[in-house]
Structure 1
Amino acid sequence: MNAVEIEQAITDLAAQPFDPVEFPYAFLEAFGNKATTIKRLRAGASNKSDLGGVLQTSNIHILTCDTGRVTQTLAVLKASPATVKAKAKFILATDGTDFEAEDLASGETVACAYPDFPDHFGFFLPLAGITTVRQISENAFDIRATSRLNRLYVELLKDNPEWGRDERRHDMNHFMARLIFCFFAEDTGIFGGKGKFTETVAQMSARDSSNTHEVIGTLFLAMNTERKDRAAANIPRWASSDDFPYVNGGLFSGSMEVPRFSKIARSYLLHVGGLDWTRINPDIFGSMIQAVADDEERGELGMHYTSVPNILKVLNPLFLDDLRAKLEEAGDNSRMLLNLRKRLARIRVFDPACGSGNFLVIAYKAMREIEAEINRRRGEPDLRSVIPLTNFRGIELRDFPAEIARLALVIAEYQCDVLYRGQKLALADFLPLSNENWITCGNALRLDWLSICPPTGTGVKLLADDLFQTPLDQTEIDFENEGGETYICGNPPYLGNTWQSAEQKAEIRDVANGRTRSPGFLDYVAGWFIKAADYIKHAGGLAAFVSTNSICQGQTVPILWPMVYSTGCDILFAYTSFKWANLASHNAGVTVAIVGIGAPSNGLRHLYEHQDDGSVVLRDGTSITPYLSMGSPVIVEKRNAPFSELAVMEFGNKPSDGGNLLLSRDGLQSLGLTEKQREKFIRRIYGSQDFINGGARFCIWIEDRHLSEAQKIQVLSERIEAVRALRLASPDKGARTILAKRPHQLKLMRIGNTHTIIVPSVSSERRPYLPVGIVDERTTLTNLVFGLYDAPLWNLALIASRLHLVWIATVCGKLKTDFRYSNTLGWNTFPVPTLTEKNTTDLTRCAENILLAREHHFPATIADLYDPDTMPADLRAAHDRNDEVIERIYIGRCFKNDTERLEKLFELYTKMTVNKGQQTKVSKR
């Protein structure tokens, strides 16, 4: 269940008569517990309560009680030994009149009347596996409003299916935007009385809902007509009163058609209007409401919320920190404060993937806060804001989020006016809305950003679609921004190269414009970085985006960052990788980074490093690498051979056999070979999962000199012919003309004469070390692992080190969140100092100690041994000793942390590439 569904379920529960026996189970069911889970709790199989209540392990202990004993019962729950033993996160007590609960980890509490507990549903979202943020916990209204609007939207489409089709989708979305404005206006004093719009619809529309659409259409017409013209327009007196002012601004222009309402839809409308819309938070609400109008996203309502703290990770270092510093510097100096206010008036914030406007709304509210403090210090608290909404520009692909973005900014402007200037002045300046259009609906990678956010005071001339029914020829905006600043920001779509459509790949290719040979490998978000860098080159400014951390890892770096550097941009600040979670239940969140770019300056670069404990450490320096470490902007490129003395690492053997040469243990038995035949024609074979999890597979291994003998064995001969037929039918020319001539063999036939060091190509990021091992001369590898054939054992010590894991995690990138190994990008580029004979001897001993420690725990698998929670002490000690020996070779002591490791490795890499006559791929400025 998502947050919106949970809110609805909790609200329904609170509306039912209180049943002290059933309440705990109904409460848990409302938070997504399955029927089988509830059944086990009822039966006592999983109920750990020692008080006669319901205790779900690692979740919550609930106890209903007699009237007036809620506080005492909560204390009993907290003192319960079962609560502690079961590691409950929450305790909850209620008597059907009062309701109390506590978060045992934070100590936060809820105490309210029983009917009001749905107002606090956000407090309990962790029960559904949803890691939420304080804004949601403290302001459940936005989720409640989204839930009600979603039910209304779905109900309307049942009776008006044509409004859900592509040709009328815009009309439906525009209708919803109008409703949202009316609900907000009737509760905030913009309309004549609180609840006036909802009250009028209730009074003037028939209970059978037959004329509800006509009543709403008439009200919309009134808000699009100036008072002096309402009589001529035949607007009835009930709609033309002062209670409904002239709004226009494009919001109520155009068609007045309204979808027809069923009795249920009318009821839903009245319930939505009955909410207290003064509590709307536009930076939260917009993110959730945008999904209402999208068929694919409606099932994920509430999942698109971007928390304010995460948005501020972009906006603060981009420009807000500097504004606040200038405010602090100005003190009470009237002239300096005036200059800062003039600067605020000329700042533009541009989000070219704005969705429902979160980043723009947060930026606007933060700037209004600074402006209000300026006005306070200058003794001008009632002064009208000099910060125009038209300076907060966006591009959004879909029309409804784009409309919501503009509406969210309009609401934010009004709320700021009320907060800083008072209700009276806010109302005086609010209506009518402006016809100016500053949110563009279109494809950001196809539009010209310079035309949408030009470097001078000229207006927008090209827009892909209209908003609030504003015609294209009326979208030119005049505003004073000459000499102002432009800040580009946002959270663009992440789509990896594998999942992009042909059109999206074409967009990236066109944005790259021939500046790289491999644009097809780029994540979709890379297009926004390239466009931003090009914009900055021509118009100045700074840009910062939330991005998948893939743009700072692996093969993406040498493709993307030379293009960015070639525009004259540099990385000015960054946040290293962190999980970007949303409101989805049990959502692990994508791993992201934040990167800010702009023209180089003499100032320090700021790197915000996320630590394992969730804290952030700020480091300053003169340069940040595209891998998000301090240092010169070196770019690691693939190499065909390793540096220095490292052994050659190659792929294992690709079968290309249609399953005829690979065998399970049972498959091997079914061949019925003699012991002598097995010895000659069968080998053990490892892939990544076989090696890590202890699987057993085999392969038919026929050397040319034994082919005639193998063909005399019917089961082998049949498999050989099956492989031949498969390869001859292949669309691949090499398979038909070369591999088909040796169907008795895997595509490659690599195997060690004495041993092979094995390295899986993909492994879990949870492990503290990369899995690496050694196999004998009768064991071979699939193409899902790498092999160092007959390599010195000290190579294993290097691969098993923390130092090498840090390098691989950085320069090779990841597959989802798992480490993705590469021989050409990870091993061949790994910088190793010149090793003495003693060094190699010491490292060999370390490798032997690691292998011996594993043997002590036979038959434990690599997965068992390297589980970070249960890793054996002797194995960890062997790795610690290995790390110490290696790191002393590098710097004469152990490194302090991974940051220091990475910086040393990049330093060495730079020296080694120069010594090899290779230039690091950075732009010449």
Structure 2
Amino acid sequence: MLAYRELRRLEHEVVSEVLIQEWKQDNRGTMGAEYQDTLLTIEDRIIVEVSQFYGVELQPYAASIAKLGLWLIDHLMNMEASNKFGQYFVRLPLHAGANIYVDNALKVDWKDIVPVTKLSYILGNPPFIGHNAKSVDNQKELKSVAPKWKGISNLDYVSGWFIKASKMMEYNPLIETAFVSTNSIAQGTQAINLFSELFNKGFNINFAHQTFEWDNNGAKVHVIITGFSKIKKKQRKLYKYSSLKAEAQLVEVSNINEYLLPMKSVKLTAMYKQISGKPDMIYGSNMSTGTALMFKEKEYQEFIRKIPWTKEYMRPLIGAKELTNNFKRYVLYLKDAKPSLINSTNEVLERLNKVKSDRKNSKDILANQMVDTPTLLYSDRVLDGDFLVIPIVTSGNREYVPIIFEKYPTIATNKTFQLPNADKYIFGILESRMHMCWMKVTVGRLKSDYSYSNTLVYNTFVFPETNKTQEETVANLVDNVLTIREKYFKIGEKIKDLYSKLMPPDLRKAHNKLDREVEKLYRKQPFNSDEDRFEYLLKLYRREIEKF
């Protein structure tokens, strides 16, 4: 309805401009005081009508509302035209109504709804259902659209509309499409699986709105708008937002890539070895079906007091929540415990029986296979030495992902990544703005939060070439960051508060110093923006990937 209204108003402006030009031709190029914006034959000029609109609605009542709404807007626009051009305008007899069909847009063939040769534009805001929120039916519907589309199982539901539209544009390359959609399709692996594939098929993004907050019937969602087609335009319009609620700033650019950035397509590929040869980053241990062996602080103290021998096998447990909130849980890690101790302690046996029951009743096949080994973790990636811990999901409001050092006997959960054999130099690079810029573009999102990836973010990130002296300088600056953190931890502050929207001044200053030093390792010339940083890192990535 809004699209129809805006098209009519645009048509009114065009008609008005045509009238001005015609008047000038008849009056030697001057307007004159007697000029009036009027028409003698308005019916010949107003040609946009509701019958030119086609749509698909899943619910019958929604289709009825759409039809009625278009008629109402048509009437209001006719009144607007009458006032503007000084002639009463009404369509009598009534023309055909809008072509709104009740069907599932992912199941119906769009060519059966609208003549593809006469179609000019495809517009809409398809359902906002994220990848992880898709139902079984949603998943089947999406796969049915393009069974052989690479990575389609990992795409948001909205991607089906992009793919369906692309098929229509294959039949008619003059069609242009624009959708409001979830912003996650322009992030992480989804950007690669959707837009990179569209680019390979000859499509171009000709205009786009980067992420902004949209009030969708009371629900505030983070969305993007992308306009794409087979048409390759020299100048493309990119609308940037300094914050989610800010006004859009238009920039004309020569290209818009899969991340909605003004540069060439990245075409990033997940890697299973770190591109600069740094240590492998691995998931933490999976505690699935093992919650009976996990303890909060108070429960832990009571349990080891009651059963002293278990203290030797209690290990601190850290996940993303524990990391950001500066607290630890504990897990009874019985992998190497003596059978005689276990079998002689009813309280421990009861908890192990609960693990067995949980695994037996689980829908997970691997858990079912581990029923008889309840002393083993579902997935054991326990490290014996020092390691870095990176939360997989962290707030999108943070400038820096809060990374920490941990050491034996702490066990990291699968809500984190762990990096063994990492020193303060590696910590400094990963906690720098350079790495954060790379992460924020290439990472996936969970709602508005960052969802870190070892294969797509860490492994593809190019470390600078350094000597021992340079690495020691970075390590010294890291010491400063860690010392300041520790000062706040001692007075009860949590890491999530230190890395919130407003960082403490001394911590901010320490990070700024670290950022400047790391950037100098990449090049002497200062970077002008985060886009500048990312583009530089991208050049390094392209250079390094050729060596693999």
- Specify the TM-score bucket, using the shorter chain as the normaliser: 0.7 to 0.9
The amino acid across from 1:886 in the alignment is V
Q: What is the CA deviation profile of residues 635-661 of structure 1, one whole-angstrom value per residue up to 9, with x for unaligned ones?
A: 223222221132211111112344221
Residue 472 of structure 2 corresponds to residue 841 of structure 1:
yes
Match of 1:547 among 165, 181, 191: 181
Partners of 1:742 and 1:843 in 2: CA distance: 45
CA RMSD of superposed structures (Å): 2.6
Q: Aligned AA for 1:407?
A: W
Partner in structure 2 of residue 447 of structure 1:
108
In the alignment, the residues of structure 2 paired with residue 606 and residue 453 of structure 1 have an alpha-carbon distance, to the nearest angstrom, of 29
For residues 462-473 of structure 1, the aligned pairs below 5 Å read: none
Pick one of 510, 524, 537 that aligns with 1:892: 524
Report the CA distance shift for 1:708/1:637 in structure 2 as closer, same or farther (over 3 A). farther
- Cα deviation for residue 758 of structure 1 reads 0.9
Shift of 1:433: 1.0
Partner Cα distance (1:674, 1:645) in 2: 48
- Alpha-carbon offset, residue 488 of structure 1: 2.3
**Structure 1 contact 644–834 (Cα < 8 Å) conserved:** no
| Paired residue total | 524
Q: Residue 621 of structure 1 corresponds to which residue in structure 2?
A: 253
Alignment match, 2:21: 377
Instruction: Tell me how far apart the structure 2 counterparts of residues 655 and 388 of structure 1 sit (CA, whole Å).
Output: 61
Residue aligning to 1:361: 5
How far has the Cα of 1:772 moved from its partner? 0.8
Report Cα offsets for 1:685-728 as digits up to 9, x if no partner. Answer: 11111111122311112342645445444433443344345435
- From 195, 200, 219, give the equivalent of 1:561: 195
Give the conservation status (yes or no) of the 8 Å contact 2:40–2:87: no
Distance between the aligned counterparts of 2:378 and 2:4, measured in 1? 55
What do the CA deviations read for 1:456-505 (whole angstroms, capped 9, x no partner)?
46xxxxxxxxxxxxxxxxxxxxxxxxxxx813222222222333344433
Paired residue type of 1:362: E
Indicate if the aligned counterparts of 1:884 and 1:893 stay in contact, CA closer than 8 A. no
On the 8 A contact 1:671/1:715 being kept in 2, the answer is: no
SS in 1 for 2:53: strand
Q: Which residue of 150, 155, 170 corresponds with 1:537?
A: 170
Once the 2 structures are TM-superposed, how far is the Cα of residue 911 of structure 1 from its aligned partner? 2.4
Match of 1:66 in 2: none
Partner of 1:910: helix, strand, or coil? helix
Match 2:509 to one of 862, 877, 886: 877
1:669 aligns with one of 282, 286, 301: 301
Q: Give the secondary structure class of the aligned counterpart of 2:375.
A: coil
- The change in CA–CA distance for 1:772 and 1:437 in structure 2 (over 3 A counts) is closer
Q: Could you say if the C-alpha distance between residues 646 and 514 of structure 1 is closer, same or farther in structure 2, counting changes exceeding 3 Å?
A: same
Cα distance in 1 between the residues matched to 2:274 and 2:91? 67
The AA in structure 2 aligned to 1:570 is N
> What CA deviation, in whole Å up to 9, does each residue of 1:186-242 have, x standing for no partner?
xxxxxxxxxxxxxxxxxxxxxxxxxxxxxxxxxxxxxxxxxxxxxxxxxxxxxxxxx
Give, in whole Å, the separation in 1 of the partners of 2:471 and 2:262.
30
Written as runs of structure 1 = structure 2, the 5 A alignment for 1:699-738 is 699-704=331-336, 706-728=338-360, 730-737=362-369
**Greater Cα offset, 625-634 or 610-619:** 610-619
Residue 411 (structure 1) aligned to one of 62, 72, 75: 75
What does residue 124 of structure 2 align with? 490
Aligned position for 1:784: 415
- 854-863 vs 563-572, greater mean Cα deviation: 563-572
1:684: how far off? 0.8
How many angstroms apart in 1 are the aligned matches of 2:116 and 2:291? 61
**Closer/same/farther in 2, CA of residues 645 and 848 from structure 1, 3 Å limit:** farther
The equivalent residue for 1:855 is 486
The question of whether the paired residues in 2 share the 8 Å contact of 1:577 and 1:593 is answered with yes
Give per-residue Cα distances to partners, 1:614-671, cap 9 Å, x unaligned.
2444334332210111222122232222211322111111123442211112221232
Name the counterpart of 1:812: 443
Among 419, 425, 438, which residue is 1:794 paired with?
A: 425
Closer/same/farther in 2, CA of residues 399 and 868 from structure 1, 3 Å limit: closer
Q: What is residue 33 of structure 2 aligned with on the other side?
A: none
Deviations 1:524-559 (A, max 9, x none): 221221122222221122212111111101221222
Letter in 1 for 2:74: V
Match of 1:580 among 214, 226, 231: 214
SS at match of 1:495: coil
Identity %: 28
Change (3 A) 1:497 1:867: closer
Matches within 5 A, 1:642-661: 642-661=274-293
Retained in 1: the 8 A contact 2:180–2:225?
yes
The change in CA–CA distance for 1:367 and 1:706 in structure 2 (over 3 A counts) is: farther
- Pick from 86, 92, 98: which aligns with 1:431? 92
Give 1:441 shift.
Answer: 4.1
Partner of 1:393: 53
1:194-593 alignment, distance < 5 Å: 357-379=1-23, 381-384=39-42, 385-390=45-50, 392-397=52-57, 398-424=62-88, 426=89, 429-435=90-96, 437-456=98-117, 486-516=120-150, 518-540=151-173, 541-582=175-216, 584=218, 589-593=220-224
Q: Give, in whole Å, the separation in 2 of the partners of 1:643 and 1:703.
A: 34
CA contact (8 A) 2:287 2:413 kept: yes
2:540 to 897, 900, 908: 908
Q: Is the 8 A contact 1:653 1:749 kept in 2?
A: yes
Alpha-carbon spacing, 1:872–1:675, altered in 2? closer, same or farther (3 Å): farther
**Cα distance in 1 for residues equivalent to 2:301 and 2:537:** 49
Distance in 2 (alpha carbons) for counterparts of 1:438 and 1:714: 71
Residues 304 and 310, structure 2, Cα contact 8 Å, conserved in 1: no
State the match for 2:27 in structure 1: none
8 Å contact 1:534–1:567 — kept in the other structure?
no
CA contact (8 A) 1:368 1:387 kept: no
**Structure 1 contact 489–545 (Cα < 8 Å) conserved:** yes
Q: CA deviation at 1:578?
A: 0.9
Q: In the alignment, which of 741, 756, 767 is matched to residue 387 of structure 2?
A: 756
Q: TM-score, normalised by structure 1?
A: 0.53
Greater mean alpha carbon deviation, residues 373-382 or residues 566-575 = 373-382
Residues 506/898 of structure 1: CA separation in 2 closer, same or farther (3 Å cut): same
In structure 2, distance between residues paired with 1:726 and 1:445:
38
C-alpha separation between the residues in 1 aligned to 2:54 and 2:76? 16
Give the C-alpha shift of residue 809 in structure 1. Answer: 2.5
Bigger radius of gyration, 1 or 2?
Answer: 1
Task: Please give the secondary structure, in 2, of the residue aligned with 1:555.
Answer: helix
SS at match of 2:188: coil
Structure 1 pair 730–509 and aligned structure 2 pair: CA distance change class (3 A): closer
Structure 2 distance, partners of 1:716, 1:729, is 20
User: What residue ranges of structure 1 are gaps of 5+ in the alignment?
Assistant: 1-356, 458-484, 917-925
Please give the secondary structure, in 2, of the residue aligned with 1:627.
Answer: coil
Distance across 2 between alignment mates of 1:407 and 1:674: 76
Structure-1 residue corresponding to 2:29? none
CA spacing shift, 1:442–1:676, aligned 2, 3 Å? closer
Task: Give, in angstroms, the shift of residue 362 of structure 1.
Answer: 1.2
Residues 488, 544 of structure 1: 8 Å contact kept = yes
2:540 corresponds to which letter in structure 1? L
Deviation at residue 386 of structure 1 after TM alignment: 4.5
Q: Distance in 2 between matches of 1:440 and 1:676?
A: 70
* 1: CA distance, partners of 2:93 / 2:201: 43
